[in-house]
Structure 1
Amino acid sequence: MTIENMIFCFGKEGNQLKLLFIKRKAHPFIDSLALVGGFIDGAESSDKASVRETTEETGIQLRLDYIEQLQTIKIANRDPPQRVIAIA
């Protein structure tokens, strides 16, 4: 199972909502934009996986009390190498 983080912030002027993306480092879709995320390790909670993956991929440290689960995505063939269920 994986997590996909939708990390929002406001621009410097405070009136522009922004969404954080990363560039994929591996195939498939190398160099394409993607949401921050990855696989949940063993007995790790989805919240802790969100914090860990965000820190590993961006250096940003999320706070657990700012995380909210929006949806579980279970579309077949969404990720070519294997079937992946994602928690957004």
Structure 2
Amino acid sequence: MELMLVVFSIISGLLTGLVYFGGLWYTVRILPSATIPHGVLILSMALRLSVALLAFFMLLKLNWSYLLIALLSFLLVRQVMIYIMDHSNMNTHKT
């Protein structure tokens, strides 16, 4: 494996995770005030899945190992966002 492709895979996974889970977070935040909530939910899911699948498919065309690296960094973003959101909620609920 080439180092540049490994770094590219890591960055691609991180950016895809930020777009996917950031978009999910944004959707959940605006859903209560949306005039057509089911439309917002479906559109958000379609856009997020399209971006993620396109990114992962492009990496799969290079090699399956680059896809695996990207998926691991994608899941790392998920865990970091869960950690950040959990700690930010703990700070707002102190009495």
Q: Which has the higher contact order (CA 8 A, sep 6+)?
A: 2
**TM-score in terms of structure 1 length:** 0.24
Instruction: Decide which structure has greater strand share.
Output: 1
Q: Which has the larger radius of gyration?
A: 2
**TM-score in terms of structure 2 length:** 0.23
Instruction: Decide which structure has greater helix share.
Output: 2
